[in-house]
Structure 1
Amino acid sequence: MLKIIIENLNNKEIISQESKRKVIELIHENFIDWMHACGKKGRCTSCKMIITEGIKNLSPLTDREEFFREKERLKLNERLTCQAELMSGTLKIKVAEANKFPHMDYS
């Protein structure tokens, strides 16, 4: 069983039985709005997540994530939800301040 906890969305929990799924797919399948300006192609950083726990449960960095790290647009505790796959365990994340939607209530 895989679990994602979105801490600043009132600790919203997403449970999945399937591994190796992109984080953004799991979020959207659970009817949670999450920004993705480039259509989930890894061309921007609008879908980034801040990881507070469980970074080791994600797939290795993709070429696109490496590119944004080199440009200093992704910190060590940040990944792109459209690129990172949840492989096992629990992942605790937050929505980045710059990527919050005005119509959502964040905690």
Structure 2
Amino acid sequence: MPKIIIENLYHKEISAKEPDYKVIEIIHDNYVDWMHACGKKGRCTTCMMIVEDGMENLSELTEREVSYRNLGKLKPNQRLTCQARLKEGTIRIRVNDQYKLPHMDYSE
């Protein structure tokens, strides 16, 4: 079963019912708030996640992510949760400090 560990949310572990779901959908299906200013359409970078481990368990970069990389808005260890799909396995991620929600309690 695909699993996400959000390190700076006290190592919160959430899982997907099956593989190949967008990361943002898995997060929201598990009742975790995550920034997404453009409505999950890949038009901004506010849903960015920092991938600490498990990048190989994510789908290939989408055209939008490649475009943001080329513009210098996404680093090699960053992906957009609205674009990346979780395949099998586990990913360890962090919420980018810039996009933390004020009502959430973050660790570290």
Q: Please, what TM-score do these two structures have when normalized by structure 2?
A: 0.98
Q: Distance in 2 between matches of 1:64 and 1:4?
A: 23
Q: What one-letter code is carried by the residue in structure 1 that aligns with 2:39? A: G
> How far off its partner does 1:17 sit?
3.1
Does residue 82 of structure 2 align to residue 73 of structure 1?
no
Please list every run of 5 or more consecutive structure 1 residues that lacks an aligned counterpart in the other structure.
none
Please name the residue that 1:45 is paired with: 45
Equivalent residue runs for 1:1-107 within 5 Å:
1-107=1-107
> How far off its partner does 1:16 sit?
2.0
Please list every run of 5 or more consecutive structure 2 residues that lacks an aligned counterpart in the other structure.
none
Q: Structure 1 stretches (4+) deviating beyond 4 angstroms?
A: none
- Shifted more, 9-18 versus 85-94: the winner is 9-18
- Over the aligned positions, Cα root-mean-square deviation in angstroms equals 0.5
Q: Please, what TM-score do these two structures have when normalized by structure 1?
A: 0.98
Q: What one-letter code is carried by the residue in structure 1 that aligns with 2:21? A: R
The share of aligned pairs that are identical, in percent, is 61
SS at match of 2:64: helix
- Shifted more, 13-22 versus 55-64: the winner is 13-22
Q: How many residues align?
A: 107
SS at match of 1:51: strand
SS at match of 1:4: strand
SS at match of 2:75: coil
Cα deviations by residue, 1:73-98 (Å, 9 ceiling, x for unpaired)? 00000000000000110000000000
Q: Distance in 1 between matches of 2:65 and 2:34?
A: 18
Cα deviations by residue, 1:35-91 (Å, 9 ceiling, x for unpaired)? 000000000000000000000000000000000000000000000000000011000
